Structure 1
Amino acid sequence: MRRAEIRRILRTQRSATVEELCSLLKASPATIRRDLAALEENAEIERSHGGAVVPLLRSAEQNFAQRESRDAAEKQAIAAAILPLIEAGSTLFLNDGSTVMAIAKAIVEAGIEVFVATPAVNVAAKLAESDAVTACLLGGFVRQSSLATSGPFAEAMAAQINADLAIISPDALHPERGITFINAEDAALARRMAAQSRDVTVAATSAKLLSVARVGSIPLTAVSRLVLGCHIQDVPQAIAECGAEILAVRSLPE
């Protein structure tokens, strides 16, 4: 977890000193230097005098790193709450996004044996780091803005998979409009994933609640569970009464 956080910090701000990392991560200089040495050995960072930098990222990677840094604690709490819902040997759908990446990292760190189908190139690459995970990348046209595939090829592949659980992170969540997306192809693929799954879990940070994006996807009546990045008392009443199980992760022990 600490090395993953170092990677996130460096991708967000490009460089950091050992002293900065010690302060942010509450670790000793010796521990941080060992972490940096291990990351450099894996060619993930480059050491600099007194710290480290990351190689220049492509714009899509830089944008994703910035999205990962927003509401990072919520996303990690959401991932921790979802992990017990995943049974060993099960088949999952994951869509794309920074919340989904947090879930993928939790799966890898837990070493759960699972089959995961996803349109996200970066999520599939992260899942492939675990020998216990079979990562299936849904084929299609790769959008640079999201680092994910989309379109009829991705939907056709998803239609051939029978999943136990679809974990979907939307662009917005509204009690009447359901889960919605900015991109029509993302909405269509999420709809297909839900249709192919016995159970549908929606993961959303608090910033997405009571908002509506451009394209409708799945009504809340088709969702089994909402995992929300807020305190239980902060869940809007209309969402709490939608009929889905509510897991408000900020009510979990810190």
Structure 2
Amino acid sequence: MRKQKIYQIDAFADKVFSGNPAAVCPLDQWLSDDILQKIAMENNLAETAFYVKQDNQYQIRWFTPTIEVDLCGHATLAAAFVLFNHENYNENIIRFYSPRSGELTVKKKGELLVLNFPTDVFEQVMLSDEITSGFNIKPKLAFKGKTDYLLVFDSEDEIRNIVPEFEALSRLKARGIIITAKGDKVDFVSRFFAPQSGVNEDPVTGSAHTTLTPYWAKQLGKIELTAIQLSERKGYLQCSYLNDRVEISGQGKLYLIGEIYLE
């Protein structure tokens, strides 16, 4: 019987029971993909992050309960929180490497953890019936990025009160759907739905802000932005647009340290 350490961290949260929970498993070496997926399915969180130390960096992978994904911001923040606070990492910057998304860094800045991710590339698409049938309110603009759709609405109230049709959304060929509008008290607000990836609504989606940040930076004419993801748990983010890179900042809070028993 092998024991595997597991942490659960609330990411983009200033207190426990807010933000987005992610599981983190530090590994000495990679387990089989089947075991990684089964651990993520058993955790039943939006994402579980696994990492292995390789030379001066950490290779990282992310799994939802049903699939491996290309990029996950909140679980990367959670992994960095674990390294900085519980796994004896003493430097001020962590270099992660994802086989699917390249180099990703996380820097410690007081209580904030600053993710540095590649900016998404996206283009405007038609507002097809397939897209608009997913919500009870029609968006005014639609864009398609590397993995997600971005739908722009008129107001924060629309984002807060919108009713998703998950069956319709699950038929869209994408990781998920970001909806957004200009914020009342912050620069922009959003929500994120990914039924086709095993997550109906994600509480806080760091990777979605690689699309949201460049969009709103250009719309608002500023490179430093504040954001709230308006899920039930809510997430608070600070974002910086650096052209081909995006910085996404937030806090993490420890919820759980445990052990998995693997036969």
Task: Name whichever structure is richer in helix by fraction.
Answer: 1
Larger RCO, structures 1/2 (Cα 8 Å, 6+ apart): 2
TM-score over 0.5 for the pair:
no
Task: Name whichever structure is richer in strand by fraction.
Answer: 2
TM-score, normalising length: structure 2: 0.23
TM-score, normalising length: structure 1: 0.24
